[in-house]
Amino acid sequence: MATKIRLARGGSKKRPHYAIVVTDSRMPRDGRFLEKLGTYNPLLAKDSEDRIKLDLDRAKHWLDQGAQPTDRVARFLEAAGVREKATRANMKKAEPGAKAKKRAEEKAAKAAAPADAE
């Protein structure tokens, strides 16, 4: 059986609350699960202790059994020190296009030209 450690959504509309669960990969997102490992409340502040609660011993157990965490859960485990930090592909989606880069260079050149004249 292929197991995953993933989030199961709860809470009402626009008020999400997630359970961190171990489940068979073929089950639906909020369906049957094998074990609940903790909770995640994205509405709390990032520095709040109650934002992520996780049973690290059980998480280690399931990782040793071959459970694969989803990307979000893997980040939680990396922050807790259970899992080694993975290198991720840094997509260049936020990088400006060629025309925008050219305009920025021209603007910088115009700003530098009066300063050089003085």
Residue 117 has pLDDT above 70, yes or no: no
Residue 116 has pLDDT above 70, yes or no: no
62 C-beta neighbours (distance < 10 Å), count? 19
User: What residue type is 104 in one-letter code?
Assistant: A
pTM score:
0.73
Structure tokens at 83: 């899992």
**pLDDT tens digits, one per residue of 1-29:** 799 999 999 999 999 999 999 999 898 88
Query: By C-alpha distance, which of 26, 20, 19 is closest to 1?
Result: 26
